[in-house]
Structure formats: C-alpha cells, structure tokens
Amino acid sequence: MLHTYDAVIVGAGGAGLMAALEASKSAKVAVLTKLYPTRSHTGTAQGGIGAALGNVEEDHWEWHVFDTIKGGDYLCDQDAVEIMCREAVEVVYDLEHMGLPFNRTPDGKIDQRPFGGHTREFGKGPVSRACYAADRTGHMILQTLYQQCVKQGVHFFNEYHVLDLLINQGHVCGVVAYEIATGELHTFHAKAVFFATGGSGRMFKITSNAHALTGDGMAVAYRRGVPMEDMEFFQFHPTGIYKMGILLTEGARGEGGILINGKGERFMERYAPTMKDLAPRDMISRYIYLEIREGRGINGKDYVYLDLRHLGRDVLNKKLPDITDFVQTYLGIDPATEPIPIQPTAHYAMGGIPTNYDAEVVIDKKNTVLPGFYAAGEVACVSIHGANRLGTNSLVDIVVFGRRGGRKMADYVKRTDLVPLPPDPEDYVQEQIARLLASHGGDNVANLREKMQVEMMDKCGVFRTAEHLRNVQQTLADLQDHYRQVTLMDKGKTFNTELLEAIELGNLLDLAEATVAAALAREESRGAHYREDFPKRDDANWLKHSLAYKTDSGIRLAYKPVTITKYQPQERKY
Amino acid sequence: MLVSVRIKRFDPDVDRKPHWETYTAEVEPTDRVLDALNEIKWHQDGTLTFRRSCGHGICGSDAMMINGRNRLACKVLIRDVGAKISVEPLRGFAVIKDLVVDMEQFFAKYRSILPYLINDNPPPEKERLQSPQERARFDDTTKCILCAACTTSCPSFWADKEYVGPAAIVQAHRFIFDSRDEGAGQRLSILAERHGVWPCHTIFNCTDACPRGIEVTRAIQEVKDAIVTGRV
C-alpha cells in the first residue's frame, strides 16, 4: 500500500514526538512506531533532564557546556554542545508549559538535584542541575509530548516496523514499513524522513535497555550506505540491578547514595576525590570492575552495593519511589534497610547516524548532508556526548535536537518537491522476509542472540583488548553465517513477532560488527572505550570521530575531525 | 525450578476459537513471568505471541491476566505466582492473536477526556509556579502507564463497553486537579455523561490491578465528587 506525506518520522519516543510537534505545525506528517508511542524507551529515563536554570543554586549554561565536553572526554563537537546546553533552558520551560509535572522547590519553581559529572565553576564540586519529576522524568516527558500530539492531532501509525530506507537520485524519499498486525508492507513516499528509533543496547547481555532497542534505524540506514559514527563508544551505567541490568538512577547518588565494596569501603573516594560517587559513568563502571577484579566485590563476587539506607524513607518515597519499588519487586529488598547489589549495565550508544546540529544526516568526513534525511536522539551522533554521555543529557538531546530537526525538516519540505520512488521499492524487504520465512537451516534466533550478547558483554564491554576484539569479530562472522540459516516456526502474517525478532537480530549483528571494528581500530582509551593494551588517551592520533561504512568487501573505517571551540583537551580528573 | 504455564491461545489465521495449551519451562523463582513466556517462545514454540518491551513495569506493553488477576508479566515474579501459572489475554478487548489484544478503543477513550494541559493564557517567560502541595494533589495519577490493567479488570466495563473506564478517568484526574489546568469544566461535563464516571460501582478491582500502585478507585471518587459539588 502506498502513502504519501511531506515527512515521515520513524520512532515515537521523545525525539520523534518533539519533531512531530514541530513539523506537523506546517507539514503533513506521519509518525511510524513499532510500538505504541507511550511504550517508547524514553519513558524509562528516571533521574532528570539537565538545564542550568539555577533554581536551587547558582548555575550557568556555560558550566553545563564544559561538563558535557569534559564528561565526553573531549570527543564532543563543541559547537553542538553549546547549542544544546543553551537551548536546554528554554526547552525545559517549554516542557513545563506543556504541562510536565516537575517536582517543585518550596517557592514553586522546578526543583533540581545533583547528577554525575555536573559541576559548578568548571569542576569545583557538584551542582544541582537535573530538573526532575520524582524518578520518572522520562515517563513524564513521554506522556507530556504524547498528550501534546493528541491535542495537535498528529497522525500515528502504531505497530508499523520500518524495514528499509528509500533513496533515489541522491535524496531520501521514503521508507518501507511492515504492519505488524497484518503482515502487509506499506511504502511511505515522502519529501523527508526523520529517524528517531533509539539505541541498540540489546547487543549486550546485561542491559538497562528494552527488548525493543535493537538498533533498527541505525541498521536500516547503515545498509543503505550511511556510515555509523563513533560506534566504539557504548556507555555502561554503573548501577544496574545485579544480573537483571534494570536501571537504578544516578539520581539516587545525586540524593546522597554511595557505592560500597566488599570491605565496606566507599571506594569512589579513592578514585575521584572531588566528585566521588558523582564522577562520570564510564569511570565509575571501570572502578567497580577494578574493585571486583581485586577481590573487593561483595563476598568476593562480581557485584558491589549501592547504599541508600542513610537517605531515609521520606526521601526514598518522595524522590526515588520507582527505584524503591523496583528493588522491592525484583530483589525483595527494602532499600531503606538493606544495601542493593548492583553491577554495570549496558545503557547508551554514544554513536549512531552522523548528524549536524540541525539533525540533518551527514555522510562523510566533510559533513556532506544527505538531502531529506534527519535523525535525533540515541539513534543519532551529533556528537554532543563524545566518548561518554553525562547523565540527564540524553533527555536534553532528544528534546533539543528533536525540535531543531523538526523545524529544519518542516522548512525543507516547504522548499522541496517529492523525488520519485526508486523502481520496485518493496523488493528488498519482500526478499528479506521471504528468505527468513523459507529458511530451514535449523538455527535458532534466541540462541544466536544469546551468544552475541554474552560475547559482546565479555569482550567488547567495559574493558577491551585487541585479542578479545579479534576473537569476538570472528564469533560475529560465524553468527552471521548461522543467521542465514535461522528457522522460524511462525510462518503467519498476523502479529508475527518471531519474524520481527529475527529481523531485529540481523540489525544487532550488523551493528555489533561495526562496534567491534571501530573498537579494534581505536588504539587508545577515551571515555567509555577502554583498551587495556592502550590505556592512555592519545590526542595526537585519536582526537577524531570514526565513521564505519558497510561495503561489499567488509567494513571500511574513515575518520573526521572533532569541532573544538573553547575547550582544549586536558587530563580528566574528578 | 520447573513451572507449568497454561496459556490461552488464538491464531485467527488457523483457529476458529481460543484454546488452551500447556508448556513446561525451567526458570528461577526470581525470574519474571515474562521470562517464562520468553523461554517458551524462544526455545519451545516460536508462534506464541505477546507484547513486551521495557521488561520492568514502565512501558505498559505486557498487561495480561495471570492466575486470574490482571498483572504486568514483567512485574510479577515466579515465586509470587507458584509453579502452576495460567495466562490469558486482558478481558473485554478483541484478541488479535494469543495474548495480544486490540488497544484502539482503549486509546480512543483516553483521547475522549482531553488528556492534555488546557490553559490558553500566554505562559510566563520561565516556569508557571506551582507549590509542592499543589503538585502533590495529582501526583498519584501521573504514574499511569496506560497498560489497561485497570479498565479490563472492571466488571462495569465488561458489562458496558461504552464505559470510558478507569484508565481514562485516571488520566482526566491528572489534569482536573493540576493547579495549572483550566479545562476541568470541559472534562467534568464529559465525565458526567452516562458512559462517564457513573458506571463505576466502587468495586476496587482497578485499584487491585494497577501495577503502578495508583489508588484508582479513590481518583474516580474524587472526580465524581467534583462533578456533584462543582468544585475541584
């Protein structure tokens, strides 16, 4: 079935909805999501959205800029960071005006709390910058934006899974989507396409990410020649529930929670004397593993404690109710009386589809724009997060760049005509689905996925070496061979989620390969990418973004410079 | 531990009516019911179909009836339901396949109560002020994740499919009692209609079913009171 729109937005989390609100003011817009909008992963963000409102103590957006760049280990494009931190302030007020129920200060303003890596006066100590709604800030952002979309009459196609990006005459001109309820294919012909499909954390075994986070938008673009930028940088959040990976917000440490090892020591005091438990996530995750390696896990095991006992029941109930509930539900523990077993959990892709600060997709080292293609949020790499994202900045990213991209795209479609569709636009997807349904090789999707997740966690996680990366590279190549042999039991057209899980695994495998290739090439340690065989940052050779291209002869890596405005790289101490 | 999972199945391409199938799965007592369903889907029967996403009770995808009660499959542990587990789709919605139900009518009712802040005054340069007490007034109902566990546990909804249902009233409550909102009158007149709040007979199934711990029945009662007294 053919549909024609000015613009198609894929993904209905914070970035997609923000783009939809902007673009649909003047353009005919469709939003496609493989879920229902309110199921999107934005809803699981907990602790807050960073903006230098200065409601609780003195703060300036310029301080936020510095913290973001230093937190990102100087791989951020500084012009984009300046835009983000400046616009964060007005966009938080906009969210409040839309009805977002932030917690309030006694004088009725938006309340703010400290968060990892956010400092006053360029690193002198923690600052209260995270604007929050209890520990369900993402839930409230998602609900509020969806409410506004209902008010504005935004047109949604729910449970439509996008499987291909259409490019013709050098322009992006649509997508092909699979209607989950019926198995029908739909071609959406549009002047512009906006990807806001989120991350790819399901390539790792222990993750905070939803089952749905399978890198769909990234993989679809990657197969159509769009490079993946900075894929070697994947953030592990320090405090996932042991073995389950469920996120426990950094806001818990913002409120005063501490990490303790098996000897009862507050070990972060040793590693980060100023910021302690509010050092950036990459560092804390590494130090947790170091403590464990040196035998100082709890009872010598592979976890440490997040201790919230001293916060008291009132703070837990008012400011951290959801994580209190998670800990009670999944561990049977009352955080007011017992410490919580935690381990680092795969959390956030800093890398993704390269864009400029207007969310236009750029495809080479000269930042050439691919006309008609936009991306924002975790699927994209602007890059504002550099080598390691600061807490709260994912929410800042989605609202600021979702909005900027939505505006830019609305302007673009006014000035542009539809580019004709390529011949037989659905052929590629039809063939992909037919192959999966017809295969009788006997391999099982879940088994292949499990193997990928375990290997990526062990060998391409917080610590990496050339040997381990080569090893996992070989494993992924084997898994790709087996993937061609997967057999599905469900051959039907109605709500065939087995077929979709198979397609999602294909997406994850392609992205895992790009991640490993970029990680193996980068012979330095920076932010979340830590090479034990190259433990130092190497600005002389590696102060640059990687671009991974998928070609017929394998992955080709290229590099592009980092935009530096005010802040030259310095040693990163907290 | 070994658990027996009895699941109500229906594939419209094959079946004329629903039937039960029973599977045995090896799981840990601390696993979620969702883990058991995944274990079955991934390793025994790929045709078993259900929605799921976040896996920890926030996205609202996997509401279903588990041992006779509406729960999120990702928020109830095996040790809490025992070794014999019965799973069926939410009651009162059309079944698309197995545990997947048609949510369109549910969201249409959500939209009918004007689920967005109504305030036509130009906003101030910074935030609208709201005291912590004013903010606390509607905190409980901001937690709703639109999973439909409440609405589909309600005997009044089973009897009257036109009833707007607990979830939509919870969403209305979230705005009616927000000091920044000026649309209470419009929403209360919608909810004062025959299929608004009045089919609620204070049965408390909704409160029992809510995976977010929202006091749904109390919220409905507060909306009823506001309609009767004309005050919020």
Domain's final residue, options B101, B132, B153: B101
The mean per-residue pLDDT over the stretch A457-481 comes to 98
Give the residue from B36, B66, B101 where a domain finishes.
B101
Distance CA B122, CA B143 (A): 28
Q: Is any Cβ of chain A less than 8 angstroms from the Cβ of B83? A: no
pLDDT tens digits for range A251-306 = 999 999 999 999 999 999 999 999 999 999 999 999 999 999 999 999 999 999 99
Distance from CA of A494 to the nearest CA of B (A): 7
Q: Are residues B80 and B193 in the same domain?
A: no
The pLDDT, as a whole number, for residue A195 is 99
The domain spans of chain A are: 238-346, 427-544
Segment A71-107, tens digit of pLDDT: 999 999 999 999 999 999 999 999 999 999 999 999 9
* Strand order, beta sheet including A228-229: A228-229, A544-551, A554-561
Interface touch B49/A101, C-beta < 8 Å:
no
Give catalytic residues of A, as residue numbers.
Answer: 281
What number is the average pLDDT over the span A210-228?
A: 98
Query: Is there a contact between A211 and B107 if contact means CB atoms under 8 Å apart?
Result: no
Report the CATH number at residue B181.
Answer: 1.10.1060.10
How far, in Å, CA of A151 to CA of A311, rounded? 40
Percent of chain A with pLDDT over 90: 99
Q: What is the model's pLDDT at position B95?
A: 98
- The letter for the amino acid at B209 is A
Q: Find out whether the peptide bond into A394 is cis, omega within 30 degrees of 0.
A: no
Which residues contact residue A541 at a Cβ distance below 8 angstroms, ignoring those fewer than 6 apart? A523, A524
How does residue A109 score in pLDDT terms, banded at 50, 70 and 90? very high
The two tokens of residue A400 are 């600021």
What is the pLDDT of chain A when averaged over all its residues? 97
pLDDT of residue B62: 98
Residue A206 has pLDDT above 90, yes or no: yes
Q: Are B225 and B110 in a shared domain?
A: yes
Interchain proximity B46–A43, CB inside 8 Å: no
Helix (H/G/I), strand (E/B), else coil: B173: helix
- Inform me whether the pLDDT recorded for B232 exceeds 90: no
Q: What is the mean pLDDT of residues A57-65?
A: 98
Please compute the mean of the pLDDT values over residues A446-457 and round it to a whole number.
98
What is the rounded CA–CA span in Å between residue A225 and residue A191?
19
Instruction: Indicate the average pLDDT of chain B.
Output: 97
Same domain, B96 and B200: no
pLDDT at residue A540 tops 90: yes
Q: What percent of chain A has pLDDT over 70?
A: 100
* A437 contacts chain B (CB < 8 A): no
Helix (H, G, I), strand (E, B) or coil at A571: coil
Q: What is the mean pLDDT of residues A405-415?
A: 98
Gap from A53 CA to chain B (nearest CA, Å): 9
DSSP state of A379: T
Cross-chain residue pair A108–B46, CB shorter than 8 Å: no
Residues of A in contact with B30 (CB under 8 A): 330
Give mean pLDDT, residues B124-140: 98
CATH number of A427-544: 1.20.58.100
d(Cα B83, Cα A477) in Å, to the nearest integer? 40
A510-548 core/surface letters (b: 16 or more CB in 10 A; e: else): bbbbbbbbbbbebebbbbbbbbeebeebebeebbbbbbb
Same structural domain for residues B210 and B110? yes
- Rounded to an integer, the average pLDDT of A335-353 is 98
The answer to whether residues B34 and B76 belong to one domain is yes
Domain boundary residue, one of B70, B86, B101: B101
State pLDDT tens for residues A433-442.
999 999 888 9
Do B73 and B149 sit in the same domain of this protein? no
Q: B 167-196 residues with CB below 8 A of A?
A: 175, 178, 180-181
Q: What phi and psi values does residue A143 have, to the nearest 5 degrees?
A: -60, -45
Same domain membership, residue B97 and residue B130: no
Quickly state the pLDDT bin for B118 (edges 50, 70, 90).
very high
- For the stretch B122-131, pLDDT in tens is 999 999 999 9
How close is the nearest chain B Cα to the Cα of A490, in Å? Answer: 5
Q: Are strands A554-561 and A258-260 parallel, antiparallel or unpaired?
A: unpaired
State the ipTM, two decimals: 0.98
Same domain, residue pair B114 and B201: yes
Count of the separate structural domains present in chain B: 2
Question: Which residue in B48, B58, B212 has the most chain A C-beta atoms within 10 A of its own C-beta, making it the best mutation to test that interface?
Answer: B58
What is d(CA A256, CA A499) in angstroms, rounded to the nearest whole number?
Answer: 46
Are residues B77 and B35 part of one domain? yes
pLDDT at A567 exceeding the cut of 90: yes
pLDDT of residue A203: 98
Is A444–B42 a contact, with Cβ atoms under 8 angstroms apart? yes
**Partner-chain contact A326 B107, CB within 8 Å:** no
Contact with chain B for residue A498, Cβ under 8 A:
yes
Decide if domain A238-346 falls under CATH 3.90.700.10.
yes
Q: Are A227 and A363 in contact (CB under 8 A)?
A: yes
Same-domain check for residues B55 and B114 = no
CB pairs under 8 A between A and B: 152
Q: Which domain holds residue B66?
A: 2-101
Say which of B42, B127, B181 has its CB closest to residue A93: B127
User: Which CATH number does the domain housing residue B79 bear?
Assistant: 3.10.20.30
Looking at the predicted structure, is the pLDDT value of residue B218 above 90?
yes
Residues 149-168 of B with CB under 8 A from A: none
What integer pLDDT is reported at residue A514 of this predicted model? 98
Contact B139, A101 (CB under 8 A): yes
- Is pTM beyond 0.95? Reply is yes
Average pLDDT over residues B224-229: 97
> What per-residue confidence (pLDDT) applies to B107?
98
Q: What is the pLDDT of residue A485?
A: 94
Answer yes or no: do B120 and B204 share one domain. yes
* Touching B: A residues 234-263, CB under 8 Å: 244, 246
pLDDT of residue A56 exceeding 90, the answer is yes
Which among A202, A466, A248 is positioned nearest to A349, based on CA atoms?
Answer: A202
Whether residue B97 is found in the same domain as residue B108: no
Is B54 close to A210, i.e. CB distance below 8 A?
yes
Specify the pLDDT at position B208. Answer: 98
Q: Which of B14, B100, B126 sits opposite A93 (nearest CB)?
A: B126
Residue A380 reports pLDDT greater than 90:
yes
